[in-house]
Amino acid sequence: MRRFVETTRELGLSLLPSILAFVSASLVAALLVSFFNHSPILVLRTIWQGAFGDVYSLSETLLKATPLVCTGLAVALAFRAGVWNIGAEGQFIAGAMTVTVFGVSATNLFSPLLWLIMTGCVFLSGAVLGMVVGWLREKRGVSEVISTIMLNAIALQFLSYALHGPLQEIARNYPQSDRLADVARLPQLWPGTRLHTGVLIVVLLAVTLWVILFRLPLGFRLRVIGQNSRAARFAGIKVSRHIAIALALSGGVAAIGGAIEVAGVTGRLYENISPGYGYTGIAVAMLGRLHPLGVLPAAFLFGALESGARALQRNLGISPVLAEVIQGMVILFVVLYETRWFRERLTKYVTFLNNDPK
Amino acid sequence: MVVEKVPISSSVRAIRLQGIQKHFGSIQALAGVDLTLQAGEVHALLGENGAGKSTLMKILCGLYRPDAGAIYFDNHPVKIDSPAVAMQLGLGFVQQHFSLVDNLTVTENIVLGAQSRFFYSPAALQQQVQTFINTNGFALEAAAPVSALGVGEKQRVEIIKALYRQAKFIVFDEPTSVLAPQEIAMLFATIRRLQAEGKGIIFITHKLDEVLQISNRLTILRAGKNVVTLDAGSATAENLAYMMIGEIIPPAPANYHNLTGARSVLLQVKNLQIQNERRHFAVNDISFELAAGEILGVAGVDGSGQHELAEAIMGLRQPEAGMIQWKISLLKKKKTLFDRRRLGFVPPDRSSEAFVSDFSVAENFMLERSDDDEFRCAGFLAAAKIDDRTKSVIENFNVVCKGPEQKLRELSGGNQQKFLLGRALSTNPEVLVAMNPTWGVDVAATAAIHTRLRHMQKRGGAILLFSTDLEEIYALCDRFFVIHAGRLMGWATATTSATQVGLWMTGRPSASIR
C-alpha cells in the first residue's frame, strides 16, 4: 500500500505537464471562439457546466470517459512494451460485435458461467487481433503501426457486413442489431442517469493493468523491452514472444471497452458504435503519460470535453466539433511540453524566480 | 583563436594538429597530441583501442571541440566547429560505417548536400557525375542504386563523395576492416592514385602489414599521447607492435594455475563459425575448451569477433557451423534459456546491453532473473527481497549510490560497472562470461574487480574473459588466445612476449614464438 501511494504521488507530479497542456488548449480554444463573436468566458463556463454542473452532467462525463479508459489503457500497455497499437479502434469493434453475438442469441439462459464465457470471448476477440499483429511483426517484420491500421479497416468493414447480414435486426429495417437481452446488459449504477457498472469495471481494469505492469514479473519484462529491447535480449528475455503477449493483452482490453459500450450504453450494435474511440485512446494514453492510473484522469478530462461540447451545442449553438479541436491541441501542447527546449526554459524560469532578490 | 580566412584547400601543403587535448569527464582521451599531415603522403595512424585515434579524427572533422591545442592549415589557425566547416576546408572522411542513403542512386548520394540549387535536371546531373567518376579513374555506374552495390563499391562512393566536395585531405577510418582481400588491393590502388594527385591521406588501422604496405609515414598513439612519428621505411612490424602496446610487466607467477593437473572441462567449442548481420564470418573456425578453476582470456582489438562469440556462447546467437557443448547443464528447469544464476554474463556495453538506465538499481538487479522463484511471492514481485539482495550487492562491491531506489543512470560509469560485476557474481555462478569487465573503471575499482574474479577462480569457477586491455589479460589469465578478424591467431600464456601478442592482434600469423 505504501508503494501504491508513492507511485500515485509520483504519477501526480509527472501528470503536471499534461494538466498544463489541457489548460493551455482550453484557453487557446476559448480565444478561437472569441474570433467568432462568442464570449470565451461564457464558452468555458458552458463547457464546465456541461461536464460537471450537476449529477446528470457528471454522469454523462463518466459515461463518455468509460470507453476511452479502455482504449487508452490498450495503447498505454502496448507502448510500455515498446510497440504502437493503433488498432484499438478495430479491437474495440471486435469486442462490441462479440458481446452482441452473445447478447442477442442467448436470451434468458444467462448465468454467471455464461457471463464468464462471454467476457472470455470478448477479451479473446481483441487478443486474437493483437496476436495477428504480433505474429506479422515477428515472422514477417511488418511494422505494427501499419498492420494495426489495416486491421482497423478490416474490422470496420466486417462490422458493416455483419450489420447488413448475420447480425442485422430481425425486422431488417436498419443496419443495426436487435437489442441485447436484459440479462446481458450491465446494471444501472445510478437511477435517473445512464451511468452503468461499466465505470467500475474500467477502474478495476486500470488497477489490474497497473498491477500487471508494476507488480508482476511479466509486466516487468514488458517494461524492460519497452525501455531497452537490446538489454532485454541480453538478459535472456524472449523479446518477440513478450511483444506478442503485450499486443494480445492490449487488444483484449480494447475489446472489453467495446463490449461495455454495447452492454452498458447503446444496448445494440450500430455501424458507428465507435466515433473513433480507438484513435482518441492514443491521445488519452499520451495525456495519461502512458501510465495505467494516469489514463483514468486523462479519459475523464476527455469525457468532460465531450459532454461539455454537447452543452455548447445545446445552449450556444456551437458545433461540438470544437471538442475535437481542443483534443487535438491538447496533444500538441503535451508534445510541446515534452520537448527539451521547453523543459530547459521552464527550469531556467523557475530558478530565476527563486533567485530573484525582490 | 582568430580564424583569418578560410584557406583555399588546393593550395594548402600541410595540416598541423598541435597539442590537442580532450577530456571526457575525468577521463583524458587526448593528452596533447601533435600530428602533421603533408599533401601527397599516406600517413598511418596506429594505436590500440582507446589510444585516442577516433577522438582525434572526430576533432578534425568537427564533431568534437578540443579542450586545448590548435589546428593549422599551413600556418593559418582554423577553427573546425562543425562537419560542414571541415568539408569547406577540404577535409573528407571515409568512415568505417558508411553514411550513404541506401535507396538513393550513386549520383544522388554523391551530390547530396553538395547540390544547392532547388531545381535541377536529374539526367544532366547524372551525366555530370558519371563524367566526374570516369575522369577520376573509378569504375562505377552513376545511375545504380546504392542498395545494389557491394561493400567495396559503397566505399568507393564515399571516396568519390569526398572528392566531389573537392577534398584535399582524406581520412580513412579502418577502411579495410569491411573489405575482402581483392577489394583491399583495389582500395590501395585508389589510395596510391590519390596520393599521386597530391592528396594527403590519413589511414587509421590496426593492421601492421597494411601500414607497412601503404604508408609513407606513421604515427603511433598510446593512451592519448603520440609515441612516435617515423618513416614507414624504417619500421618493422615487431617494433611497431612493441611501441603500440608498450611494456607489460608480467605479474607474479603465483596467480597461475597448474595447467597439467586434472582438468574438468565445462565448455567445449569446436570449429565454430558465426555470420554477423552483414553475412560476413565474424567468427571463423574457432575451437577451445574452458575448464573449472581457470580464467581463459580472449584478447584482440575491438570488433574482431568477440561480441559474436560471446553471444553465441550465451545462447543469444545462432552459429552457422561448429558446436558449443556444455559438459554440465546450466539451463533453467524446463526452459531453453540459460540459468543466469549459474552462468553469469557481463555484456560489453553497460548502457545499451546490460542495463535499463531509466530503471532503479534494484530493478536492474533483477533484470536477468525476473522469473526467479526467489524474487516471487504468490506470483508478485517480492520488492522487499529484491531490495535486500540489491543492498547486499551494493555493500559487497562498494557501489556508491543512494540505495536500491536510485535511478541507475544517476550512478557514475565506474559504479555502474562495479554493480554489473556484482550482479553477475552475486549468485556464485559456475561459469562467467565477462567482456571488458573493468571498462571505464578507476585503478582501485579495477583491482577490486580483479580480486573478485580471482576469488571466483579459486573456488573452482570458470571464467571466459574477453578484454581489449592486454594488461588485464596478462594480469588475470592462466592462458589466453588472440582473435583477429574472427580467426584464432595463437595461444599464449604470461610468458609469451607482448610483442608477439601484438603481432597476432594486428593480423600477423606467428613467425617465431617465445
Of the pLDDT bands very low, low, confident and very high (cuts 50, 70, 90), residue A358 is very low
Residue-level pLDDT at B248 = 66
Distance CA A260, CA A258 (A): 5
Distance CA B475, CA B252 (A): 9
Of the pLDDT bands very low, low, confident and very high (cuts 50, 70, 90), residue A43 is confident
CATH number at residue A176: 1.10.3470
- Residue to substitute from A5, A213, A214, A224, interface B, most B β-carbons within 10 A: A224
The distance of A234 to chain B (nearest Cα, Å) reads 6
Residue-level pLDDT at A107 = 66
Of the pLDDT bands very low, low, confident and very high (cuts 50, 70, 90), residue A69 is very high
Amino acid making up residue A277: Y
B246: its cell numbers? 608498450
Between residues B9 and A228, the one the model is more confident about: A228
- Quick one: average pLDDT of B187-212? 88
3-state secondary structure of B469: coil
Residue-level pLDDT at A12 = 63
Residue-level pLDDT at B254 = 45
- Quick one: average pLDDT of A283-297? 91
| Chain A residues touching residue B370 (CB < 8 angstroms) | 217, 220-221, 224, 237
Of the pLDDT bands very low, low, confident and very high (cuts 50, 70, 90), residue A347 is low
Give A7: exposed, middle or buried? Use CB within 10 Å, 0-12, 13-18, 19+: middle
A215–B353 C-beta distance less than 8 A: no
A3–B370 C-beta distance less than 8 A: no
pLDDT in tens, A217-236: 999 999 999 999 999 999 98
The domains found in chain B, sorted by start residue, are: 9-245 (3.40.50.300), 253-328+430-505 (3.40.50.300)
In chain B, helix, strand, coil percent, each to 5? Answer: 35, 25, 40
Lowest mean pLDDT among A241-245, A331-335, B105-109: A331-335
Q: Which range is most confident: A66-80, B3-17, B135-149, B409-423?
A: A66-80
Asked whether the predicted pLDDT for residue B387 surpasses 50, the reply is: yes
A42: its cell numbers? 461564457
The distance of A10 to chain B (nearest Cα, Å) reads 13
A-B C-beta contacts closer than 8 Å: 56
Region label for B53, one of left (φ > 0), alpha (ψ between -120 and 50) or beta (otherwise):
alpha
- Quick one: average pLDDT of B484-489? 90
| Chain A residues touching residue B315 (CB < 8 angstroms) | 236
Residue A228 contacts B where some CB pair is shorter than 8 Å: yes
Between residues B332 and A286, the one the model is more confident about: A286
Residue-level pLDDT at B362 = 94
pLDDT in tens, B416-470: 999 999 999 999 999 999 999 987 777 777 888 899 999 999 989 999 999 988 8
Distance CA A61, CA A199 (A): 11
pLDDT in tens, B108-142: 899 887 766 777 788 888 999 999 998 888 888 88
Between the alpha carbon of residue A337 and those of residues A14, A330, A341, the distances in Å are 12, 10, 9
Which one, of B142, B73, B140, lies nearest residue B106 by Cα? B142
B359–A234 C-beta distance less than 8 A: no
pTM more than 0.80: no
In the stretch 289-348 of chain B, residues with CB closer than 8 A to chain A read 314-316, 337-338, 340, 345, 347
The distance of A210 to chain B (nearest Cα, Å) reads 12
In the stretch 146-205 of chain B, residues with CB closer than 8 A to chain A read none
Residues of the domain holding A260: 2-355
pLDDT in tens, A159-203: 999 999 898 988 888 899 989 888 888 888 888 889 999 999 999
pLDDT in tens, B173-186: 888 877 766 778 88
Determine which helix (DSSP H) or strand (DSSP E) holds A355, and give its type and residue range. helix A340-355
Of the pLDDT bands very low, low, confident and very high (cuts 50, 70, 90), residue B166 is confident
The distance of B353 to chain A (nearest Cα, Å) reads 4
The interaxial angle of helices A198-215 and A217-227, nearest 10 deg, is 70
Distance CA A46, CA A204 (A): 31
Residue-level pLDDT at B185 = 84
Residue-level pLDDT at A3 = 58
B356–A227 C-beta distance less than 8 A: yes
Residue A230 contacts B where some CB pair is shorter than 8 Å: yes
Which one, of B436, B488, B499, B471, lies nearest residue B208 by Cα? B499
Residue-level pLDDT at A189 = 87
B115: its cell numbers? 547540390
Residue-level pLDDT at B420 = 94
pLDDT in tens, A132-168: 999 999 888 899 999 999 999 999 999 999 999 898 9
B345–A217 C-beta distance less than 8 A: no
Asked whether the predicted pLDDT for residue A36 surpasses 90, the reply is: no
Distance CA B316, CA A232 (A): 11
Residue-level pLDDT at B299 = 92
Residue A215 contacts B where some CB pair is shorter than 8 Å: yes
Residue-level pLDDT at B255 = 47
Asked whether the predicted pLDDT for residue A354 surpasses 80, the reply is: no
Give A116: exposed, middle or buried? Use CB within 10 Å, 0-12, 13-18, 19+: exposed
* ipTM of the modeled complex: 0.83
| Chain A residues touching residue B318 (CB < 8 angstroms) | none
The distance of A237 to chain B (nearest Cα, Å) reads 8
Lowest mean pLDDT among A333-342, B126-135, B401-410: A333-342
Which one, of B168, B190, B232, B136, lies nearest residue B13 by Cα? B168
Residue-level pLDDT at B235 = 82
Residue-level pLDDT at B250 = 55
| Chain A residues touching residue B375 (CB < 8 angstroms) | 217
Residue-level pLDDT at B295 = 93
pLDDT in tens, B219-278: 998 888 888 888 888 888 888 888 887 766 555 444 445 445 567 899 999 999 998 876
Residue B480 contacts A where some CB pair is shorter than 8 Å: no
Distance CA B178, CA B289 (A): 29
Residue A236 contacts B where some CB pair is shorter than 8 Å: yes
Region label for B504, one of left (φ > 0), alpha (ψ between -120 and 50) or beta (otherwise):
alpha
- Quick one: average pLDDT of B495-507? 84
pLDDT in tens, B25-84: 777 889 989 999 999 999 999 887 778 888 898 899 888 999 999 999 888 888 888 888
Q: What is the mean pLDDT of chain B?
A: 85
% of chain B with per-residue pLDDT over 70: 92
pLDDT in tens, A234-284: 998 999 999 999 999 999 999 999 999 999 999 999 998 999 999 999 989
Asked whether the predicted pLDDT for residue A13 surpasses 90, the reply is: no
Number of domains in chain A: 1
- Residue to substitute from A221, A228, A237, interface B, most B β-carbons within 10 A: A228
